[in-house]
Chain A
């Protein structure tokens, strides 16, 4: 347990903290772009979906950034603690940051006399952020390129912005249509994407190719 706490502390201090500051800045900028007082359900959903969903990109996409360098990755792999544990700790910390920041923001909305179902917006916002983050994690693992990892969720966000209906059950801003159904699909897809991304990163590209060759 002590080891896990130590890994968590190091990750928070040297990796997650700047991203947390960025996430907080994003929340502070939101009132400049959108009113956060006296909003109804739909207007509150708009601010959560359009703005807070981006927190997922800020917190989750840099999941593999600390071991971007191959030497560091090899060093981490040689340690007693499996890489999977390290990745899960990082993921958990990012998730906790997202949960806390989202909750604080929604409480601020409530303080501003906005009328909305807290649980529905909280759930919806977290899922949208998680899906964008999941996309980033998956493509980061696949291409090992941080630029691609950021590009894909940002493009998906733009796509949802412009051609929402065509995305069907994977529409990112479904709360704007007062629908929660899409969120279950997004949640399922997020779990799959994150699981695939982390597994692929832990197993490694070479090992996957070797396993495929052995099976072939």
Chain B
């Protein structure tokens, strides 16, 4: 145990002395400042305000209207958002498939496609003219043709028509029944905003709400950055020509790898915890200002359980692939994983968890969504922790096998028995 702690201490000092670690810290700080911005506190909603934000509606008619609006937009742009493998893929359809979708739209709306196209072009021109006059940007959701589905169509019929469209697109589109149910995004009323505020300060806590947003942003970076620390550590022995010296030492392989692993995790977490101090103090002050109190470690606790599995996995991938291939291939593996994870969350940025390495919660509050996705989030975090542990156990195995003289030569496993300890 003493050996292990000594090794951990040496590793931490080594990391702290490396240029890479300072780049790592600089990236975290830069990302935090540019993405999180200033904390503006929480204010009680006042009656008569212009807007109180948005929420999802459960009204079926509204869901149908909003889905039709989105469908018309995607149809005329001929660009459909899909998530076939869990990540975003924009699908452009052939003329034949477009015609079939056009027929379904005609059935739903009662309009001819040619009529709708004229309306769409008129609206498009009008928006562009307005934008030119006022010098404003054209927003994607401005192109509302105000066309609703026919009253005679029931919600079930509508969903079945939409499923046909989903099939034509190739699956995973916004026209799956499940997605239709979350399509009606409507403005909040004063009462809803007030109830959310009460929920925030009494049940959720400002620290918790802020922590989720903090984890959302920092998770993006922590799903890739620690792999550089891990790869650098994994290749250091070879560069320093210290492999044989370390191999001949008495320390167990598990002790060597785990000390490196834990040190990398601790050093990756350290700047994150320091960054969390300032928002902790601010959210504590906010809670006091509204006459409530919250545990001082609330924010840090959320940061630890939310982000540690991400760091564990990223570092494990780094250690495993570096030990396996004795190259920097882990960066490529983790890079692809990061790219796919970040692209899978383009649909909704709040409460998107699934099996994604980067669970998203890009909003302040929304306690009800958080409560809904919490079991899923816990499953996700436990799963990645388990994968990380499995990978690091495999890394120890590979390291031990190499120490005994094993090698990977021309794609085959070989062992030099003369080199066995």
Given A32-B85, A145-B19, decide whether A39 and B92 contact each other with a Cβ distance below 8 A: yes
Interface flag for B89 (CB, 8 Å) = yes
Given A38-B92, A143-B19, A155-B27, decide whether A33 and B343 contact each other with a Cβ distance below 8 A: yes
- Please count the residue pairs between chain A and chain B whose beta carbons lie under 8 angstroms apart in the complex: 75
Nearest CB on B from A174, distance (A): 18
Nearest CB on B from A113, distance (A): 8
Question: What is the bound-complex CA distance between A155 and B34, given in angstroms?
Answer: 14
Given A43-B92, A151-B20, decide whether A162 and B79 contact each other with a Cβ distance below 8 A: no
Interface flag for A146 (CB, 8 Å) = yes
Q: In the complex, what residues of B have CB within 8 A of residue A147's CB?
A: 20, 228-229, 231-232, 235, 328, 331
Q: Are B224 and A158 in contact (CB under 8 A)?
A: yes
Interface flag for B94 (CB, 8 Å) = yes
* In the complex, residue of chain A having the shortest beta-carbon distance to the beta carbon of B87: A33
Interface size on B, residues (CB 8 A): 35
Q: Are B87 and A150 in contact (CB under 8 A)?
A: no
Interface flag for A20 (CB, 8 Å) = no
Q: In the complex, what residues of B have CB within 8 A of residue A38's CB?
A: 78, 92-94
- Highest count of chain B CB atoms <10 Å: which of A147, A148, A158, A162: A147
Contact of B35 among A33, A37, A146, A162 (CB under 8 A): A162
Nearest CB on A from B340, distance (A): 7
* In the complex, residue of chain A having the shortest beta-carbon distance to the beta carbon of B224: A154
Interface flag for A48 (CB, 8 Å) = no
Interface flag for A17 (CB, 8 Å) = no
Contact of B92 among A33, A35, A62, A158 (CB under 8 A): A35
Nearest CB on A from B138, distance (A): 14
Q: In the complex, what residues of B have CB within 8 A of residue A163's CB?
A: 34
**Chain A 127-154: CB-based contact to B (< 8 A → 1; otherwise 0):** 0000000000000000101111011101
Nearest CB on B from A18, distance (A): 8
Question: What is the bound-complex CA distance between A69 and B92, given in angstroms?
Answer: 49
Question: What is the bound-complex CA distance between A151 and B331, given in angstroms?
Answer: 8
Q: Are B328 and A150 in contact (CB under 8 A)?
A: yes
* In the complex, residue of chain B having the shortest beta-carbon distance to the beta carbon of A62: B328
* In the complex, residue of chain A having the shortest beta-carbon distance to the beta carbon of B82: A35
Q: Are A154 and B23 in contact (CB under 8 A)?
A: no
Question: What is the bound-complex CA distance between A135 and B274, given in angstroms?
Answer: 30
Q: In the complex, what residues of A have CB within 8 A of residue B78's CB?
A: 38
Interface flag for B132 (CB, 8 Å) = no
Interface flag for B251 (CB, 8 Å) = no
Given A33-B87, A35-B89, A155-B27, decide whether A148 and B228 contact each other with a Cβ distance below 8 A: yes
Contact of B89 among A33, A152, A158 (CB under 8 A): A33
**Chain A 76-117: CB-based contact to B (< 8 A → 1; otherwise 0):** 000000000000000000000000000000000000000000
Q: In the complex, what residues of B have CB within 8 A of residue A150's CB?
A: 228, 231, 328, 331
Q: In the complex, what residues of B have CB within 8 A of residue A29's CB?
A: 336
Question: What is the bound-complex CA distance between A46 and B88, given in angstroms?
Answer: 13
Q: Are B239 and A68 in contact (CB under 8 A)?
A: yes
Q: In the complex, what residues of A have CB within 8 A of residue B19's CB?
A: 143, 145, 148
**Chain A 28-61: CB-based contact to B (< 8 A → 1; otherwise 0):** 0100111101111001001000000010001000
Interface flag for A192 (CB, 8 Å) = no
Q: Are A146 and B87 in contact (CB under 8 A)?
A: no
Interface flag for B102 (CB, 8 Å) = no
Q: In the complex, what residues of B have CB within 8 A of residue A43's CB?
A: 79, 90, 92
* In the complex, residue of chain A having the shortest beta-carbon distance to the beta carbon of B344: A33
Question: What is the bound-complex CA distance between A150 and B335, given in angstroms?
Answer: 10
* In the complex, residue of chain B having the shortest beta-carbon distance to the beta carbon of A150: B331
Interface flag for B91 (CB, 8 Å) = yes
* In the complex, residue of chain B having the shortest beta-carbon distance to the beta carbon of A46: B90
* In the complex, residue of chain B having the shortest beta-carbon distance to the beta carbon of A148: B20
Q: In the complex, what residues of B have CB within 8 A of residue A69's CB?
A: 239
Q: In the complex, what residues of A have CB within 8 A of residue B224's CB?
A: 154, 158
Q: In the complex, what residues of B have CB within 8 A of residue A155's CB?
A: 27
Q: In the complex, what residues of A have CB within 8 A of residue B228's CB?
A: 147-148, 150-151
Q: Are B23 and A22 in contact (CB under 8 A)?
A: no
Q: Are B331 and A33 in contact (CB under 8 A)?
A: no
Contact of B23 among A32, A35, A68, A148 (CB under 8 A): A148
Q: In the complex, what residues of A have CB within 8 A of residue B35's CB?
A: 162
Question: What is the bound-complex CA distance between A39 and B94, given in angstroms?
Answer: 10
Question: What is the bound-complex CA distance between A151 and B27, given in angstroms?
Answer: 11
**Chain A 1-32: CB-based contact to B (< 8 A → 1; otherwise 0):** 00000000000000000000010000001001
In the complex, besides A33-B89, A58-B332, A162-B35, 19 extra interface pairs with C-beta distance below 8 angstroms are A22-B332, A29-B336, A32-B84, A32-B85, A32-B89, A33-B87, A38-B94, A43-B90, A69-B239, A145-B19, A145-B20, A147-B231, A147-B331, A148-B23, A151-B23, A151-B225, A154-B224, A154-B331, A162-B34
| Closest A-B pairs by Cβ, 6 of them | A147-B232, A38-B92, A151-B228, A150-B331, A147-B228, A147-B231
27 CB < 8 A contacts A-B:
A29-B336, A32-B84, A33-B339, A33-B343, A34-B90, A35-B90, A35-B92, A37-B92, A38-B92, A38-B93, A40-B92, A62-B328, A69-B239, A145-B19, A145-B232, A146-B235, A147-B20, A147-B232, A148-B23, A150-B231, A151-B20, A151-B23, A151-B225, A154-B224, A154-B335, A158-B221, A163-B34
